Structure 1
């Protein structure tokens, strides 16, 4: 892979600044540019790099971190300035920027489309993290025109950021993210929208389930409007399929309300398909998801409680694969669910009890 010594980040939001922070940990010289001077200033203060001065020597790679509909325009402007030897982007839609780059007459040999599949509900440089891409898929979409040098340069950056490079055709990429990212966001938003008009009684009964389902709906609407418009047809097809399932379930439930028990079989079938679908989501190390069990423990709402929990797990030789917290309304405590391998559950529970923790 090509050694990467200098990078230009155009767009210092969450993804762009996170790329910058990750590269700075490997002493890559990072230059920052954004139409918002305040975003550049904040990213610089976070240690993400220095402000870019146009007209300087060309960097190894320019990373265009702007919404999909603006990628090609930025690419053309940067190429006209000779800003970099190679160019990539991080937009979550790939066919649109590539088609626009061809239409505008960009040099497509030096451009390799990319998309790190990582993010957070928060946006902006303040939300950026150097470890955002660790172990996360990073799609890259070379075309027949893309030079091998451009591909190798991007692969070098992906490696430095800790991502897992995945080569994929642009059209296939867009159909895939419609299923695993874009349509789920719209679906979560539809569920969350019901809460905007829900009575206070319903909100007072809200538990972890509704938080899990609606978590991603907190994303920036303006950003997501751009993403969805750039991948409109694939997302529409997925949403139509989801809507068909929901309509069928709603019809079955109306029949069941009239004491037609056989109607519930159709709802059960949808629930079973849902279980099968979740089982196909890859595990944290890729491949089939592993089955974990949970050890639930009550924790106080005080500084250092989770650190104490993890210390007990470390002493017991148990690796915590995941953790989920649910706070008790009106009480200074909550429940922590610790996900561990099945054989580790009982040793961890015993160790926690021995240290005074309440394990139901």
Structure 2
């Protein structure tokens, strides 16, 4: 299959690298000659100007606010090719393609649920899509063959494929992607005017919550504008919850705080319930793991030695979090393992000279 990728940012370049490694022929086009050549040099494919054959599938990696124009142009230019896009908003893009008179039979929307807080081809990775969800969003007129072609691409790069309607997709990503980005950005913005000594107290919790706050503001402005209605509805529900907590905290600050603790407790408890629904390893049902905390010296090879010692002890690593001590030359590795192997791992690591915390 010859796949033409239009737009060689993070997603487009990563897709080109992954498909090229799988034996697909990939041609690249981008408004920026520098970005296009960088993607080529990273192994994402050939420059479109160097490829004479017609594409079988065109993947549009343009930003959401211009994706429909690019899709329509590609549908016109390649009347025998299927065209998909990877924008994180689907309803607005499909509506715009329809309004422009694009051939909806050959168009299939799609959205790989993969990304990084960094953008551009330089951040591209060939394994970006492995184990990640890839949503196919056909129109009412999309040909089955077009859907199958996009599914083949998604599966080739290791994604778990699902099919949704546009309104269903946009409502879902508002909750699982778009509002979390806003929440992370709003929390991180509270740090702007905080004193240096106060910011220095930041622990792993703040880092976890604000990791994606380093994302590209221009791109996320386009995404949020394209899914404004769905994001607005979720934010209104979130605002209701916040108002209830604020009212409860006001009550706790006075003599009459009856019932306020229950409101706060319920808010945290509802978060526990929601968190427990997040899919676990390999997309399976969530699993409760035991956590073994190990002190890891901040020196080359220390973390690799920990992994080696775990392997020699016959214990599989299920998840890992690293927390660095403030001003200390070590970190704390929170190693998640199946509960039945936790005590065995503690003994094995202790015997190998590791400092293990309960």
**TM-score range for the pair, normalised by the shorter chain length:** over 0.9
Measured against aligned partners, the alpha-carbon deviations of 1:286-340 in whole angstroms (never above 9, x if no partner) come to: 2421111111101111111111111111111111111111111222211111111
Q: Distance in 2 between matches of 1:287 and 1:319?
A: 17
Post-superposition shift, 1:84?
A: 6.2
In structure 2, the partner of 1:267 is: 264
- Structure 2 SS opposite 1:71: helix
**Paired residues for 1:199-218 under 5 Å:** 199-218=195-214
**Paired residues for 1:1-360 under 5 Å:** 5-53=1-49, 56-82=52-78, 85-259=81-255, 260=257, 262-360=259-357
Post-superposition shift, 1:351?
A: 1.4
Q: Distance in 1 between matches of 2:210 and 2:242?
A: 17
Post-superposition shift, 1:157?
A: 0.3
Q: Distance in 2 between matches of 1:306 and 1:30?
A: 37
Measured against aligned partners, the alpha-carbon deviations of 1:255-310 in whole angstroms (never above 9, x if no partner) come to: 11224253111111111001000001111222421111111101111111111111
- Structure 1 SS opposite 2:336: strand
Measured against aligned partners, the alpha-carbon deviations of 1:213-232 in whole angstroms (never above 9, x if no partner) come to: 11111110000000000000
Unaligned runs of 5+ in 1: none
Measured against aligned partners, the alpha-carbon deviations of 1:25-52 in whole angstroms (never above 9, x if no partner) come to: 1111111111111111111111111111
Q: How many residues align?
A: 356
Post-superposition shift, 1:131?
A: 1.0
Post-superposition shift, 1:149?
A: 1.2
State the TM-score, normalized to the length of structure 2. Answer: 0.97
Structure 1 residues 201, 247: CA separation in 2 closer, same or farther (over 3 Å shift)? farther
User: How much is the aligned-residue C-alpha RMSD, in angstroms?
Assistant: 1.4
8 A Cα contact 2:85 2:111, kept in partner: yes
Q: Distance in 1 between matches of 2:280 and 2:330?
A: 30
Measured against aligned partners, the alpha-carbon deviations of 1:32-73 in whole angstroms (never above 9, x if no partner) come to: 111111111111111111111288321111110111121110
Post-superposition shift, 1:143?
A: 2.0
Q: Distance in 1 between matches of 2:299 and 2:329?
A: 8
Q: Distance in 2 between matches of 1:78 and 1:8?
A: 10
Post-superposition shift, 1:178?
A: 0.4
Q: Distance in 2 between matches of 1:14 and 1:152?
A: 24
- Structure 2 SS opposite 1:53: helix
- Structure 1 SS opposite 2:280: coil
State the TM-score, normalized to the length of structure 1. Answer: 0.96
Unaligned runs of 5+ in 2: none
